[in-house]
């Protein structure tokens, strides 16, 4: 009786190890897309580097070259 229980336990243990190894092999072959960190997106305010845009030294916003700053509250804005 005891030998039969031990045999059944050994079979279950072997099946468990086989299941874990197969599952690990299947999961290892697939790329983890959900856990992969996405590359950080660049800040949109720093990517605007057009030739006809200048950055306001007072408030940091971009405005067309040759025009005064139109940002409300900016010290460089003409009143
Ligand atoms: Zn400004």
| Structure tokens belonging to residue 77 | 């804005």
Q: What is the 3-state secondary structure (H, E, C) of 8-37?
A: HHHHHHHHHHHHHHHHHHHHHHCCCCCCCC
Task: Write the DSSP symbol of residue 42.
Answer: P
Per DSSP, what are the bridge partners of residue 62? Answer: 55
The closest of 41, 43, 65, 40 to 55, measured between CA atoms, is 65
Distance from Cα 45 to the centre of ligand 1, integer Å: 14
What is the full per-residue pLDDT of the chain (79 aa) written as tens digits? Answer: 678 888 888 888 988 888 889 888 888 877 666 777 778 876 665 555 556 888 999 999 988 888 889 889 999 887 7
Instruction: Give the pLDDT of residue 46.
Output: 55
Distance from Cα 76 to the centre of ligand 1, integer Å: 5
- Please say whether the dihedral angle defined by the alpha carbons of residues 11, 12, 17 and 23, taken in this order, is positive or negative: positive
pTM, rounded to two decimals = 0.33
Distance from Cα 27 to the centre of ligand 1, integer Å: 54
């Amino acid at each position: 009786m005891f030998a039969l229980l031990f045999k059944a336990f050994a079979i279950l243990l072997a099946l468990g190890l086989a299941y874990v190894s197969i599952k690990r092999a299947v999961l290892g072959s697939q790329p983890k897309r959900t856990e992969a960190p996405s590359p950080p997106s660049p800040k949109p305010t720093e990517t605007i580097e057009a030739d006809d845009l200048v950055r306001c030294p007072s408030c940091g916003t971009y405005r067309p070259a040759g025009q005064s700053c139109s940002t409300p509250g900016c010290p460089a804005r003409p009143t």
